[in-house]
Structures are given as C-alpha cells and as structure tokens.
Amino acid sequence: MEIYVVRSGDSLYSIARRFSASMEALIYANQLQNPDVLSVGQALIIPGNETRHTVRRGETLYTIARNYGVSLQRLIAANPEISDPSRIYPGQVITIPAGGENMGEIIVNGYVTDAPDSTLTATLPYLTFLSPFSYRADLQGNLTPTFNVNTGLSAARRVANLMTVTNLREQGGFSSEIAHAIFTDQTVQDTFLGNVETALARGGYYGVNVDFEYVYPFDRQSYNQFLRRLTDRMHTLGYIVVTALAPKVSDSQQGLLYSAHDYAFHGATADYVILMTYEWGYTYGPAMAVAPLNMVRRVLNYATDVIPAGKILMGVPNYGYNWTLPFVQGSAARSISSVNAVTLAGREGVNIQFDQTAQAPFFRYTDDNGRQHEVWFEDARSLQAKYGLVAEYRLGGISFWNLNTLFRTNFLVLESMYSVEKVL
C-alpha cells in the first residue's frame, strides 16, 4: 500500500497508469463517490498488488495464509464475501493481500450505535472487540439498551462483543447524578451490578466497557471503589473490564470531564483503558482538528507514565466537522464523514491542505449563501501518523469512535501496519 497526494493535472486514469493499478481498485479502496473529480491535496491509497488463489481440496484459510506468508486476519479481511471463514470449497477463488511491513499485533475496539449489517460485515475482520453503544443506566440502577446493532454477526469474524454501560440520560447528555447514585448508594449499586451480570450472560458478552463521563470531582474515590468492586465481580465470573477515560495531560487536571478519572487507579484495576483522544475540535468549539497529533502525544506522555502501556487503547475518530466561519460561541458545527468531506471539497473545487503540527487534513470553501466554512477530517496520512504512535509508545492498541459509517481507509492503513489480535 502507498499513499499518493493528488497534484494539479492529475486524473484517476493517470494515477492508475503511474502505479499500474486498476481504476476500479482505486475507486474501491478510496470510496470515491465521484471518480471524475479529484482535489489537489487529496490523499489516495494505492493498493498493493494482490494475488488470486484457487482453493484446492483439503486447504483451509489458515493453511493458505501460512503458505502465502500473510496473517489469517488479513486474509479474512481481504475476502469479505466469505461469511464463514471455516467453510471454503475447492475451486473457490480468494484474494491474497499484498504483503507489507508488520509492526506487531494489537487490540482494536470499535464503538457502534446504529450500523447496518453491510458496514459491520466489512468492519468486523479488523476488530478484536465490538462495543455496541450503549446500555443506559438510570438513578435506580436499571439498564436500557439504546443501540441498533446486529451483534450476532461478530462470532463468524471472531470478534468479542463488549457490553458498554453509560450514565447517559434518556433525553441525552451524561448525568453526574446517575453516576453519583451508582457510586454511592449501595442499593442502587447492587441493582446495577445485578443487571449488568444478567445482561452479560444473556447477550453472550466477553466483558463490560464502562463509559461514565462528567463525574463529580468529589466522586473520584467513590468511582474508584465502585470500579474495584465491579472488576472483582466480573473477573470472578470470567469477564474482562474496560474503562473509557477523558484525555488528561496530568493527574491534577481540573474540570468535570477530568477530575474524577483516576488514570493510575484505572490502569491498575481494569484490563484495558480507552483514552478518548479526540474532540479537541468539537461541535460547539472553534474549527480545528478533531484529534491533533501534538495533543494526542501530550495525553500519551502522561498516560504511559501511570498506566501500563499495554493496557492503553488510543482513541481514533472516524468523523470530522464542518464549521461555519467566523466561529460564534453557541454555534454548532456539523459532523461529516471523511468520505463525504473529500466529496465536498471536490464539489466546491477547493484544494485540501494538510496541517503538519496537527497531522490532519482540512479545507475552506464559501457556500451558495456566501458563508465561509472550514472542514477538518481524517485521511490516510493522518491515520498513518496516529497508528504510528501505537508502536512508538508500545500501546495495547486503538479504539474507534464510531464505526457507524464505513471508511475503508481506516482499515487499509491499519492492516498495512499491524495485525489485529483475536481473543475468540
């Protein structure tokens, strides 16, 4: 796999000829919605040369992967049409992905709220864990599932489902009061833990993913005590525990989002911690990269000092934002997928720029009403830079928010650098 940045005068045809690639392969790999329109500065993935193999009697995907020197995970991912990897037949033609440098095996988690089966089918080969979002807790410790995800698809792709629990209100937004009740009221906590245990068993989950946000600062120790009790109980039952933490740069960092998240305690207690290293650029803030690399580094510099690096899953955004300029406090940016962002740049006829400090692409345009816009998103270059931090800091892996929409670039870059660990 190579990354090519479009230059003035390029066309998809000329790029395909330059790299001896088919235009169809380029369109597929980059999800080009309008292949006739490319933007200067647009990053394109150039797929490596693939091999076609006709299955012989007695062969399995495992033996084929071994013979070609590729991981079983990469072979399964390259053949999404194979619904059951344990069943292939003589005469079947499968795709052998091109080889490349591999920096090791990592854990990959993906949150989803409402993903169609087609998106899940394309995504699951690249995941260790799928975290449907979420079971919403209330003030009495009851749980309500709010996701629309076919978790039954996971087994064939050897993906373990995690039960995600949150302190989200029914009307939206995280509730400090719900978290406080669960942490401090013994009756509520007992009810909550009983409901978690029941849902885990019924749903066939591998473990629980705790995403409690906007916790009162004075509940820090109560959260720790709750986490200890939860983890002891889950481990006794054979489940793992994962927690999601705000992106802190020091233990003393103040704020409702940060104070109660005790990095050292979570790192010592949970099996994995997800660092939510995104939302610097956010809906109600000024235009900037969602996950600027320099800011992500600051979080990792602190986190790896107090949490075993192998337990850390670095958050990766699967979205961008479109801001209207000038920024006015209280105004809201619109979420946009990276695929749609590139399409928008082409439609508006503007160049895509790349911020070297943030390691992220962006562009500006003027709409039909004369309003200026600034769009930040992810591309192959920004993802390659982020994934490089996993090896640099020796992290356990990454966690996507969220995988409701397919961005194939995420996975093509990922598989060019790492293999995905499977726990099933």
**Which are the catalytic amino acids?**
213
9: how many CB neighbours lie within 10 A of its CB? 7
**Assigned token pair, 305:** 């000092």
Cα distance between residue 186 and residue 231, in whole Å: 16
3-state secondary structure of 99: coil
Residues 6+ apart with CB under 8 A from 297: 389
Residues 6+ apart with CB under 8 A from 383: 316, 409, 410, 413, 414
29: how many CB neighbours lie within 10 A of its CB? 18
Give whole-number Cα distances, 350 to 77, 124, 281, 382, in Å: 34, 34, 21, 19
Cα distance between residue 49 and residue 73, in whole Å: 18
Parallel/antiparallel/unpaired status of strands 272-275 and 312-317: parallel
3-state secondary structure of 300: helix
Cα distance between residue 171 and residue 160, in whole Å: 29
Say if residues 306 and 248 touch (Cβ distance below 8 Å).
no
User: Which residue's entry shows tokens 């705000």?
Assistant: 246
Say if residues 249 and 258 touch (Cβ distance below 8 Å).
no
Say if residues 161 and 204 touch (Cβ distance below 8 Å).
yes
**Assigned token pair, 398:** 């990454």
Cα distance between residue 222 and residue 226, in whole Å: 6
